[in-house]
Amino acid sequence: NGITALLRPGDEECFFDESGTGEEIHGTFSVTHGESPVNVKIFNPSDLVVLDLIDTMEDAYTFMALQDGYYTVCFKSNSNELQTIEFSLHIGDDVTVKNVMKEDHLTPISNSVNTLKRGVNELNEQTKYHRNRLIRHKKTTQSTGSRITWWSLTQAFVLIALSLTQTWIIKNLFEKKRNV
């Protein structure tokens, strides 16, 4: 979970998944490449807009499905450059068994475990997202540091070379004049 999609300029990319009535739908998204905010729309199985987020760079949403069917989330680009969006879409309990009876679904401890599981899942995803971003930050920082060093040394070299050249040229001018 936490997958990245490419959003071309002016394009709209939509993703959908099936939900049952009463299931909790939870999603996140974040523009990971590109400076321009996006418009996000979520449609219910009757094609009505459930959520409409305009000009946003990152957000999260949670709502209850009131119908059975496919819920769609669409990302629309407002920019004229390529962007990438990292997003996740959870419907109900991820680790669910469909059509197989769960033995201990009704005990209090199993409810607590489910709540715990949701919390840990979320924490796990957020940490993964954070770590991935930091890996990229680290690369940028390191390259900035080395660029400053390289550029400063080049400047120093250019200054010295320029100064020596100037002096030599001026000396030359006066040498020639003398001879003439």
Cβ closest to other proteins, residue 21 vs residue 142:
142
61 binds other proteins (CB under 8 A): no
Question: Is residue 82 a contact residue for other proteins (CB under 8 A)?
Answer: no
Q: What is the DSSP letter of 68?
A: S
Percentages helix, strand, coil for the chain, rounded to the nearest 5?
Answer: 40, 35, 25
d(Cα 167, Cα 165) in Å, to the nearest integer?
Answer: 5
Nearest alpha carbon to residue 47 among 21, 71, 30: 71
State how far Cα 33 lies from the chain centre: 6
Q: Which of 106, 131, 179, 180 binds other proteins (CB under 8 A)?
A: 131
Structural contact between residues 60 and 26, judged by C-beta atoms closer than 8 angstroms:
yes
Q: Which of 95, 106, 169, 180 binds other proteins (CB under 8 A)?
A: 95
User: Is residue 111 a contact residue for other proteins (CB under 8 A)?
Assistant: no
**Min dist. Cβ of residue 125 to other proteins (A):** 9
Which 8-state DSSP code applies to residue 18? E
Which of 9, 62, 124, 173 lies at the binding interface for other proteins (CB under 8 A)?
124
Q: Does residue 154 interact with other proteins by CB under 8 A?
A: no
Q: What is the DSSP string of 81-125?
A: S-EEEEEEEEES-SS--SSS--TTTTSHHHHHHHHHHHHHHHHHH
Among 6, 49, 64, 66, binds other proteins (CB under 8 A): 6
Is residue 165 close enough to count as binding other proteins by CB under 8 A? no
**Interacting residue ranges for other proteins, rule: CB under 8 A:** 1-6, 13-17, 70, 84, 89-91, 94-98, 100-104, 109-110, 113, 116-117, 120-121, 123-124, 127-128, 130-132, 134-135, 137-138, 141-142, 144-145, 148-149, 152, 155-156, 159-160, 163, 166-167, 170-171, 174, 178
